[in-house]
Structure 1
Amino acid sequence: MSNKISIRKAKIGDDKVLAELERSCFPEAEAADRDTFIKRLESYSEQFLVVEVLDEETKDSGKVIGLVNGPITKEENLTDEMYADTGFHDINGSWKMIFGVETHPDFQHQGIASLAMRACIEQAKEEGRKGLVLTCKKELIGFYERFGFQNEGISGSVHGGAVWYQMRLSF
């Protein structure tokens, strides 16, 4: 990655750019819309880690190029209901759920998602969580296994009509 980047917590006003990033990374049936991002940011913006370009010498300075996000909950498994209901977020919960790990298409395969994942894992450890849970498509299982996630098999999720595998990283 030749650009200088920064990882920061999201702000309430990030909803538009995050919804645009989501649409560029997921099929329409899987992508959260702007209203969903507004609700999530109002409920748990501190659990959104945003990657942006800091290099003022490039045209991309200030551009949001990555995101990892999801609520904290007492639930042990990620369910489809969590995507729409921010009431599952409980700051005193033990598990960090990850709804999305996204990198803008122009910046993929440059280590952005890995940087964001490491920061998310570190945040969960610092907050004293038991671990992280996510669902992913089959072709991404190996990516998450590199961070220590264990494949728990096909998830009960039918989000967006896709087949999802539940992955768990326990501390």
Structure 2
Amino acid sequence: MQIRTATISDLDAVANVEAECFPPAEAATRESFAERLKCYGNHFWLMFDGDKLISFVDGFVTDEPDLTDAMYEDAAMHNENGKWQMIFGVNTIPSYRKHGYAGELIQKLIDDSKAQGRKGVVLTCKDKLVNYYAKFGFVNEGVSNSVHGGVVWYQMRLTF
């Protein structure tokens, strides 16, 4: 397996994996990914099995301490010198799940964020994933203000 950051040439693969991993109400659109890749492709961690994209983690950097729904929609809010690395999505195609690939990418994101001098990492997740992220040191801060996809999200933070 190989890990690297993204370029605009990864757009179709990223959009296809997202569509396979999230329901339509929660999945980012191809157009949204195009903007994200243009603004912060270096904050997409992609894992490949040969030429096949099997998993990725993405998000941007900001000085804002909490992840908001507006961040998903406005790639221009990215601040390369920001204090907090946000995680917008953790995706692994179903046939590759339960092998630790997403965990490898999350750890790479954490390591890179520390090396870049960030204050920490913030994400939101559904209740069933709170314990998973806690294994990486994330602390559950409770229900977020997000209404994304019409589901309940919990904000979790890893402070360095």
1:145: which partner in 2? 134
Q: What do residues 89-111 of structure 1 show as CA deviations (whole Å, max 9, x unaligned)?
A: 00110000000011111100011
> Following the alignment from structure 1 to structure 2, what is the Cα–Cα distance between the partners of residues 131 and 23?
28
Tell me which residue corresponds to 1:35: 31
Which contiguous aligned blocks of 4+ residues in structure 1 show a shift greater than 6 angstroms?
none
Structure 2 SS opposite 1:118 = helix
CA shift for structure 1 position 166: 0.1
Letter in 1 for 2:154: Y
What is the aligned partner in structure 2 of residue 133 from structure 1? 122
Determine the C-alpha separation between the residues in 2 that align with 1:100 and 1:27.
13
Query: SS state of the match for residue 2, structure 2?
Result: strand
1:116 matched to 2:105: yes
Q: How does 1:1-150 map to 2 (within 5 A)?
A: 5-53=1-49, 61-150=50-139
Aligned to 1:168: 157
- Length-normalised TM-score, structure 1: 0.92
CA shift for structure 1 position 83: 0.4
**For residues 7 and 52 of structure 1, what CA distance do their matches in structure 2 show?**
6
RMSD of aligned C-alpha atoms? 0.5
Unaligned regions of 5+ residues in structure 1, if any?
Answer: 54-60
Q: Which runs of 5+ in 2 are unaligned?
A: none
Percent identical among aligned pairs is 49
**Offset of 1:87 from its aligned partner?**
1.9
Q: How many residues align?
A: 160
